[in-house]
Copies of this chain bind each other. A is one copy, B any other.
Amino acid sequence: MITAFAPASVANLNCGFDSLGLALEQPGDKVSAIFNNDHIVRIVQITGDGGKLPLDAAANTGGAAVMALLKALGSKQGIDLQVHKNMPLGSGLGSSAASAVAAAVAANALLGSPFSKKQLFPFVLAGEAVASGSEHGDNVFPSLLGGIVLIRGYEPTDVVQLPVPQGLHIVVLHPNVEILTKDARNILPKQIPMKDGIIQGANLAGLVAGLYTNDFGLIGRSLHDVFAEPYRAPLIPYFDKVRQAAMYGGALGFGISGSGPSMFALCDSQIRAKQVAELMQKALHGKGIAFETYVSKINTTGAEIVANDKA
């Protein structure tokens, strides 16, 4: 049996709407893979999901990723998967992506690593698609590769791993309110002013330049989102209040993690991140909203094998 860990991820990072994401050190999912003799992919156990996720392999992000992988190999091998969720579902932290990635990485290792990480792209995209309805990579690629990942394009998939400045930390606060990804997507306009397209692109370019030059000032000035945040922020209770707290605490920038409801703050050091996390928590104090907070440096390893009982 081989077990892989795949980290949570924060997609979009404001100016990188639908094309950027980064990986956290924690939380993350674990998936164990072991051969079976029945020539099928099975989800034999899911823990930590409160019974919400499908055990049907084709409908499960991990199961679908492994089925796509086996199909590409032309293999009739059967694999049993145990999925251990260790993060909230529907939180905007790339939960479905982490399971797809952990499953693909575990199964790949079990099969003797026929694929490199980059060769796993189509399988983790296929896994993600069963949860989100489309093959988008802004959670699966950071979770798989680690670091801060730009998806330049999809035809073919063109992924750029951006440098991670020393000290960069992220605070993620997940309020226990439900926002369906579908709703968060439907609320967005299909058409935008060209002017906004120019502003968003210039900010994304500024962020990339800031990452290459360790320019935290430029990174901070670039962390704005005119595409999604104006529409999605009102869905998140006390978004403005939590943002105000984070920025007051010296965060470089603040925004919605993926399609929410989690919120993130990027910070230039661990000390700052801890202070910012405290202030964000205080901003929600007494509001009757339960939440979890994560303070993490950027995970530059990505998914990895954490247990191998094969040998």
Residues on A close to B: CB < 8 A? 15-20, 150-153, 158, 160, 162, 188-194, 196-209, 212-213, 218, 221-222, 227
Contacts and interface: CB of A to CB of B under 8 A. Distances in A.
Contacts of A205: 16, 19-20, 150, 152, 160, 201, 204-205, 207-208
Contacts of A151: 202
Copies of this chain in the oligomer = 2
Given A19-B202, A201-B200, A205-B19, A190 B193 contact: yes
B153 A221 contact: yes
Given A205-B205, A205-B208, 15 more contacts: A15-B201, A17-B201, A150-B202, A150-B205, A150-B206, A152-B218, A152-B222, A153-B203, A160-B218, A191-B192, A192-B192, A202-B204, A205-B207, A208-B209, A208-B212
B194 A190 contact: yes
Contacts of A204: 201-202, 204-205
Contact of A197 (B152, B153, B192, B222): B192
B197 A162 contact: no
Nearest to A218: B160
Contacts of A160: 205-206, 209, 218
A229 to B, nearest CB: 13
A273 B43 CA distance: 57
